[in-house]
Amino acid sequence: RSSARPPGRALERVLVREEGQVHVLPLGRIDFVEAQDDYLCFASGGRRLRKQQTLAELESQLDPRRFVRIHRSYLLNIERLARLDLYAKDSWIAILADGTKLPVSRGGHARLKELLG
């Protein structure tokens, strides 16, 4: 639980219950997180695990130098970003190392530029 974590420390792993099992996902293995209604979908090495939680709640627990909100529905592990492609005027797409394409909002593009320097 987040309350067991010392204040000011970023989350290091996520627990996801699925079909009677509890999966422990170290943050370094998460490629991106997608919001889907009241659930989050954690993408990790080709697998997708769902957890009931809001993106804003999770985002507040993560290290902002490692995970960045690139779109209202996506948090990206910055270590998985291979490149940013211009899709249309003021529209960008994040291309991950595995070829996955994620939408990037204008605000997300600004956050990425700030983080990447």
Q: What is the pLDDT of residues 41-73, one digit of tens each?
A: 999 999 999 999 999 999 999 999 999 999 999
Torsion of CA 62, 63, 64, 70, to 10 degrees: -50
pLDDT, tens digit (0-9, with 9 covering 90-100), for 77-109 = 999 999 999 988 888 999 999 999 999 999 999
Tell whether domain 2-116 is in CATH 3.40.50.720: no
How many Å apart are CA 77 and CA 29, to the nearest integer?
Answer: 9
Domain boundaries, the chain: 2-116
pTM of structure: 0.88
Q: What is the rounded CA–CA span in Å between residue 93 and residue 105?
A: 9
